[in-house]
Amino acid sequence: MAIIIAGIVIFVGYMVIHPRVPVISVVGAYLPHFSYDGAGVLVTQVNIVVRSRNDNMKAHARFSNFNIELFFDGNRIAVLSTATPYEVKKNSSVDFNYEYTSDPIPLNPVQMNHVDESLKKDEVSFELKGGVRAQWRVGVLGSVKFLCHLNCQLQFHASNGSYIKRRCSSRSK
Q: What is the mean pLDDT of residues 94-118?
A: 92
Which pLDDT tens digit goes with each residue over 53-88? 998 877 788 999 999 999 999 889 999 988 899 999
C-beta atoms surrounding 66 within 10 Å? 22
Q: Which residue has the higher pLDDT, 89 or 7?
A: 89
| Among the ranges given (4-18, 33-47, 101-115, 126-140), the one the predictor scored with the smallest mean pLDDT | 4-18
Domain boundaries, the chain: 36-164
- What average pLDDT score do residues 117-145 get? 85
Output the CATH code of domain 36-164. 2.60.40
What global pTM score does this model have?
0.84
In three state form, how does the secondary structure of 31-86 look? EEEEEECCCCEEEEEEEEEEEEEECCCCCCEEEEEEEEEEEECCEEEEEEECCCCE
What span, in angstroms and rounded, lies between the C-alpha atoms of 140 and 157? 50
Tens digits of residue pLDDT in 133-158: 988 776 666 677 888 899 999 999 99
Question: Which is more confident, 5 or 160?
Answer: 160
Alpha-carbon torsion, ordered 71, 93, 170, 10, to 10 deg: 150
